[in-house]
């Protein structure tokens, strides 16, 4: 990803948590990107990392004077708090300012990124979740946490995301808004089709890719409508969000919102079949044999492709074999402009934070995108869109993308 952090002023607040040592690596990476870095350590943070080590990596002394909060708040181009403890999150959410870090948070008008790190039970506590919601309403961006093993020996959400991921988030904040004013409609997640009042037909989609696309599009200036099946992901506040369950409901929502859209991205894993006559009562397991007659659902992407004045169309192809061949056939049959092909063999793709893909255009040009976060993959996809819609396209990702599209066959 192109470096947009050069000469940017990054202020980092470090709270007391075992993940504080990872911030040392982040500071090193930021300096390699030629960013200016200043830091604030809470008293508890100094039990995990020393001011001397932070000073050595950042090239700046750690700030500690409570009277510096205005100076630091005005200096920063962006303000990161990592790791952000439950205590800091609670103070920030309620406007408390009893130390340099919390005072600077209240005083800054720079974009704020908060990377939580805490025990999984603390993260899931209703009080913490209410505090997170308050911070988001105050325009702070919450990045993470990740799910995994924790220092306390437990497992679950609450791990601070890795330094390279934080670096990507910081870099993305300074990307040019190349999609300013463009209208993009995105479908995401699975759809569910009832067998009876208890059971349903669905798939393994979690919606992570579709939500990443929505987040990236918003950050690049687009006006986003996100139509989603059932997921556990909080939808972006800046989007028009429509939640639903079935394929028919998704079809209707798409057709009701497709007018005047510049781009339609069909990322949802729409159920291909549904029971023709769902049972009104629970089907008993004691039945020796049960036959369920299925009928196909309407192909949403193909339907949109047949509309007059159709938008630019991007589809996804999740395949287990002959990835490029099957994806290309799907693109041609449905009249798409771009298809994003990704393998779901051997557990890849679904429910993962990372993915790899091949982008194929209708002229058969294609590019292989290496494994990376789904958010980074979303930015790569929008890189291609920006070159189509911008009068003076800006290469906001690696130059290799444009070059490889040009030379590929």
Tokens of 406: 């040009």
Q: Which residues, in sequence order, are bridge partners of residue 224?
A: 184
Asked if residue 78 lies in contact with residue 170, where contact means CB atoms within 8 angstroms, the answer is yes
**3 state DSSP class of 203:** coil
CA distance 354 to 370: 10
Distance CA 41, CA 13 (A): 6
SS (H, E, C) 153-164: CCEEEEECCCHH
How many other C-beta atoms are found inside a 10 Å radius of the C-beta of residue 407?
9
Which pair of structure tokens corresponds to residue 90? 């609670």
Beta-carbon contacts of 300 under 8 Å, excluding residues fewer than 6 positions away, are: 187, 247, 250, 251, 254, 266, 268, 270
- Are the beta carbons of 180 and 218 closer than 8 angstroms? no
120/285 Cα distance (integer angstroms): 37
At residue 305's C-alpha, the angle toward residues 404 and 278, to 5°, is 120
* CA distances to 7, 96, 100, 283 from 74, in Å: 16, 19, 14, 64
User: How many Å apart are CA 330 and CA 338, to the nearest integer?
Assistant: 10
Taking the C-alpha atoms of residue 84 and residue 141, their distance in angstroms, rounded to an integer, is: 12
Measured CA distances, 32 to 5, 50, 239 (Å): 10, 21, 34
Distance CA 294, CA 26 (A): 53
DSSP alpha helix (H) spans, 159-239: 163-172, 208-219
Q: How many residues does the chain have?
A: 409
The catalytic residue among 15, 152, 267, 390 is 152
Is position 15 annotated as part of the catalytic site? no
Active site residues: 152
């Amino acid at each position: 990803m192109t470096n947009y952090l050069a000469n940017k002023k990054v202020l980092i607040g470090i709270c007391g948590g075992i993940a504080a040592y990872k911030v040392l690596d982040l500071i090193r990476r930021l300096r390699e990107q030629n960013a200016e870095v200043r830091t604030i350590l809470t008293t508890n943070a100094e039990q995990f990392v020393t001011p001397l080590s932070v000073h050595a990596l950042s090239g700046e002394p750690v700030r500690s004077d409570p009277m510096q909060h205005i100076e630091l708040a005005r200096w920063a181009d962006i303000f990161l708090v990592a790791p952000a403890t439950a205590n800091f999150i609670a103070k920030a959410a309620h406007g408390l300012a009893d130390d340099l870090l919390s005072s600077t948070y209240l005083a800054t008008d720079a974009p704020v990124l908060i990377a939580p790190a805490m025990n999984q039970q603390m993260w899931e506590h209703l009080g913490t979740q209410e505090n997170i919601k308050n911070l988001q309403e105050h325009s702070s961006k919450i990045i993470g946490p990740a799910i995994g093993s924790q220092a306390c020996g437990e497992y679950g959400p609450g791990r601070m995301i890795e330094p390279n991921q934080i670096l990507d988030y910081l870099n993305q904040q300074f990307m040019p808004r190349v999609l300013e004013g463009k209208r993009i409609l995105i479908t995401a997640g699975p759809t569910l089709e009832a067998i009876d009042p208890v059971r349903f037909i669905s798939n393994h989609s979690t919606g992570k890719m579709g939500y990443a696309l929505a987040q990236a599009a918003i950050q690049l200036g687009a006006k986003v409508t996100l139509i989603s099946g059932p997921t556990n992901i909080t939808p972006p506040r800046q989007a028009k969000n429509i939640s639903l369950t079935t394929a028919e409901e998704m079809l209707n929502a798409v057709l009701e919102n497709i007018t005047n859209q510049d781009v339609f991205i069909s990322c949802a894993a729409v159920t291909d079949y549904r029971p023709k006559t769902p049972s009104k009562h629970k089907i008993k397991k004691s039945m020796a044999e049960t036959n369920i007659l299925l009928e196909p659902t309407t192909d949403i992407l193909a339907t949109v492709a047949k509309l007059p004045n159709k938008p630019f169309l991007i589809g996804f192809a999740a395949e287990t074999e002959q990835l490029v061949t099957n994806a290309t056939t799907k693109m041609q049959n449905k009249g798409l402009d771009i298809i994003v092909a990704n393998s779901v063999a051997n557990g890849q793709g679904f429910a993962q934070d990372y993915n790899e893909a091949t982008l194929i255009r209708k002229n058969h040009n294609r590019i292989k995108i290496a494994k990376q976060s789904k958010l980074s993959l979303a930015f790569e996809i929008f890189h291609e869109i920006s070159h189509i819609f911008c009068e003076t396209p800006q290469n906001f990702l690696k130059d290799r993308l444009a070059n490889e599209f040009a030379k590929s066959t």
